[in-house]
Amino acid sequence: MAAIRRGDRNPVLAVLAVFVLMALFISPAYAEDYAVAQTYWHGFNNGIDVYSGVFALNKDFSLNTSSYVKYTVDLINPSFGEGGGGGGDSLAKGKVAAVSGASSAVTAGGSGSKDTRHDITAGITHNFDNIMGVEAYYDFSSEKDYTSRTPTVTLKKDLFDKNTTFTAGYSRNMDSISGQFIGGTRTRNTNNYFVGVTQVLSPVTVAQLGYSRNESKGYESEGIRLVPLNSTAASACTAKSAACVDEAFPSKRSRNAYLFGINHYFKDGPTAVFDRSSFKLTMRYYKDNWDIKSYMAEVEYYKYLTEQTVLRLDYRFYDQTKAYFVKNTYTGAEEFKSASKQLEKFNSHLAGVKLTHNFRNDDNYPGFRLAAVEGKYEYYTESIKVAAHVLMAGLRFNF
């Protein structure tokens, strides 16, 4: 559920995610020119609803060069049919920042909080005569209290008859934060690095190893939360006072993540359940200089139900320790103070099911055509009393 927490937004992990999403053996062969439209709903148990729309377009210019554009809009608690709901926004201005960047939709604000986030990513990929592949992307994200600009460059090199692929990536976050309690605008810059290798172990098994590092410097808080001192109730901290003070984080943060993944395809399994199916296992270990350590394990099962319909089942477990400066109660004398639930010790579970139906190509209609429809349901829960239902529906077109 990282997409819902701005505090976890990290382009190097996005590069890592792209790297992990290896081509599944059971996936259908799509044309390179395609358009995708998806809609999401995240419903949280604290009364917050997030509606998202994703629109993506991939176009080949040649056998070696292609372009990609994606636009995402996230609406938190929109007032459908209420003329924009201007009054509700002012009631909780800054309490909810939308679904990327610095704050948490699941822990800030409430059912009356509103925000809209716009994000656009554009890039180009070029293969230099099978010597090396280069991908360059630029991402711009904006919402009322947060703006982020992120250029990314990735290099890929195939070796040993394309049985081994080395990947190296770099991106840089340039963020501006203007949460309601800051009284201005602060900045944070982050350098992200990633290296990895994908190895074909057999015609039906692929393994991956990856390492990412992220180094950030600047204003590490978000300016949307206040820390209650002594016995003050957190709900009472709606304005700065002697009992409700600003968060104070270290000005630098370095993160390291180590990843292992393996994907195996069963053409003829030991039982019919495994015929024409694949299993994907991903594990990640993370640590940073704030003494947070985390472990993640995810397993995915893909199965052809028919020649054109694919089922995916997935489950993910995540567990982390707390930052070294996090306490249950602060007196005000501490150098660092936090009101962020995402810096506390917690664990989470995610389970879901997805169906994709792929339409057969019709040579009689070579132009723009519907290629696939998909739908997904997931349930997410955290030990810090957060839970959410996730629904997704999507269409894919080839042209």
| CATH number of 126's domain | 2.40.160.40
CA distance 259 to 282: 7
Is 100 part of a structural domain of the chain? yes
* CA-based R_g, the chain, Å: 22
Is 21 part of a structural domain of the chain? yes
Is 237 part of a structural domain of the chain? no
Contact 254, 278 (CB under 8 A): no
Give this prediction's pTM: 0.84
Is 81 part of a structural domain of the chain? yes
Contact 228, 234 (CB under 8 A): yes
- What is the per-residue pLDDT across 299-356, written as a single tens digit (0 to 9) for each? 999 999 999 999 999 999 999 999 999 999 999 999 999 999 999 999 999 999 999 9
Terminal-residue alpha carbon distance, the chain: 32
Q: What angle do CA 198, 263, 36 make, to 5 degrees?
A: 85
- What is the per-residue pLDDT across 214-273, written as a single tens digit (0 to 9) for each? 999 999 999 999 999 998 999 999 999 999 999 999 999 999 999 999 999 998 767 777
Is 389 part of a structural domain of the chain? yes
Provide the pLDDT confidence category of residue 2 given band limits of 50, 70 and 90: very low
Is 6 part of a structural domain of the chain? yes
Is 331 part of a structural domain of the chain? no
pLDDT at 365: 62
pLDDT at 20: 40
Res 192 pLDDT > 70: yes
Show the tokens assigned to 230.
Answer: 């002594």
Is 234 part of a structural domain of the chain? no
Q: Which domain holds residue 188?
A: 2-224+251-324+345-398
Buried b (16+ CB within 10 A) or exposed e, 67-105: eeebebbbbbbbeeeeeebeebbeebbbbbbbbbbbbbb
Number of domains in the chain: 1
